[in-house]
A = this chain, B = another copy of it.
Amino acid sequence: MKNMMLKDLVVVLLAGGKSERFWPLPHKMHMRFLGRTFLETQIENLKAIGFKSIVVVVNEDSVDELLPLGVQKIIQRGDGQGAAILSAKTEIAAKPVLILNADDVIEPELLKDMIKNIDGRNHLLVGYKVHNYFPGGYLVLNGKKIAKIVEKPGEGNEPSSYVRLVCDYFPNATTLLEYLEKVAQTETDNHYEETLSLMMEDSFDFEMVEYQSTWVPLKYPWQTLDVSNYFLQTIKKSKIAASAQIHKTVSITGPVIIEKNVRVLEFAKLVGPLYIGEGAIIGNHTLIRSSMIGKESVIGFNSDVTRSYLGQNVWLHSNYVGDSILSDGVTMGAGTILANLRLDEGDIATVVKSKRVSTMRNKLGGILGVGARVGVGSYIMPGVKIGAGSVIGAGVILQEDIAENQRCFIKQNLTIDKLPKKIESNRNTFRHKI
C-alpha cells in the first residue's frame, strides 16, 4: 500500500457497546491495564502503527470525557455495529476505512499485515484460525477469496478453520454506507453482517487476511483476567520508579513495573509479571503474583494476590485474592477469601444476563463492582459477582451474585449460657513447644 493511502485511511474504532454482559464491572473501556484505560491503550496502539485519522464511536453513558487524545469522538446513534458505523458517516464518506472492534486485543502485526495487503480495490476481512469449534462467523473460502460468512454453523459443520474477527477494510466507505443504509430498513438483527453478505452476493471482492496470533476478547467480566495477563506478558524487563521505596528484605523475581511513590514493605514477595500503580502500598508479609494493582491501592499485611486484577484504591488486609477482579474502591476485611477453585476442580459457571454460563475456567475467584465492601472472614465462592456499592457482612459464605447497593448479612444461631465450671489455663506448660 502506498503511504498516501495510509494517510487517507480512517480507522473506526467501535467502542459503543453497552457492556451489559460485563456486569458488575465498569464499562470495559474504563478498565485500566498497565495504568491506562483500555480505550487509551487501543488508541495508542493504533497511533503507534502510524494511523493518523482515528474515529471512536462511543456510547453516551460509557466513555464521556475520557478522550483528550486528539482522536475524534462520535456518539453512537442506535444499537449494533451497523448503527455505529453509520454514526460516523460524515467522517468516513468517500474514504478508505478500517473498522475495528475496540473490545478485542490483537497484535499490531495483524494491522501491519492488513496494510500490506491493501491494493486499492479489494476488501479485506480477517480470518482467525481456530482449532476447536467457536460460536462465531465462519468464512467460506475460495482460495483467498471469501465467498460467504456462515454464522455459528454448529460443531462439525464448519466450512473452514477461519472465524471472522472484526477488522475489516473497505477501499471506499461510501459503498459500505449505502449498503448499510439499505439494510438498516430491514428487520435483521445483525445489520453489519447482513451488509457484508449482501456485498459478497453482489460480487464485491473480499479477501481474507489470515491471523494466528493473540486474540483476546473482552466481553465477559472474567476475560479481564485474560486481557490483564496479555498486557502483563508484554512486560519484558523490570522498570522501577526512582521514588518507589522497596524494603531491602523484599524478594522480587520476574519482570515488574513499579510506578512512582509505591511502597513495598518488609518480607513481601513479588513474582512478576506484575504491575503496581502509582502510590500503592504493598504491605509486609504479602505475596503478589502475576497481577495488576491499581494506583493508591493498599495490600495489607499477609495478603496473597495471585493472577488478579485490582483497580485503584482497593484495600486488602490478610486476604486471599486469587484469579479475581476487584474494581476501584473495593475493600475487604481481614481473613476474607475469594475462593478460586471448586472442590471438584470443575469449570466454574456464573450467571450472565439471567443465564448460567460456563466461564471455561477452573480457576476463577470473585468479581466485585466499584466500591463493594466485604467484612471480615467472609468467603466468596468461585465466580460469584458483587454489584457496585454493595456491602457483605462478616462471616458470610456467598454463593450467589449480589446486585448493586445491597447489603447481605448472616444471622447465626448462637447459644449463650453459664459456663458450668471455670477454666484454668495450663498454657504455661505448653510454652517450651513454641
Q: Which residues of A contact B (CB under 8 A)?
A: 247, 249, 251, 265-267, 269, 281, 283-285, 287, 296, 298, 300-302, 304, 307, 313, 315, 317-318, 320, 329, 331, 333-335, 337, 339, 341, 343-345, 362-363, 371, 373, 375-377, 379, 381, 389-391, 393-397, 402, 405-419, 421-423, 425-428, 430-431, 433-434
Contact = CB atoms under 8 A, between A and B. Distances in A.
Given A329-B425, A376-B379, A377-B397, 20 more contacts: A251-B284, A298-B434, A302-B304, A304-B334, A320-B334, A333-B341, A334-B337, A345-B423, A345-B427, A362-B426, A390-B419, A394-B397, A396-B412, A396-B414, A406-B418, A407-B417, A407-B418, A411-B415, A412-B413, A413-B413
How many chain copies does the complex carry?
Answer: 3
Nearest to A247: B251
A411 B409 contact: no
Nearest to A307: B433
A115 B298 CA distance: 51
Contacts of A251: 247, 249, 266-267, 284
Contacts of A414: 396, 408-411
Contacts of A427: 298, 313, 315, 331, 345
A310 B381 CA distance: 27
By secondary structure, the A interface counts as loop
Contacts of A334: 304, 320, 337, 339
A396 B301 CA distance: 23
Contacts of A301: 287, 304
Contacts of A333: 337, 339, 341
A318 B315 contact: no
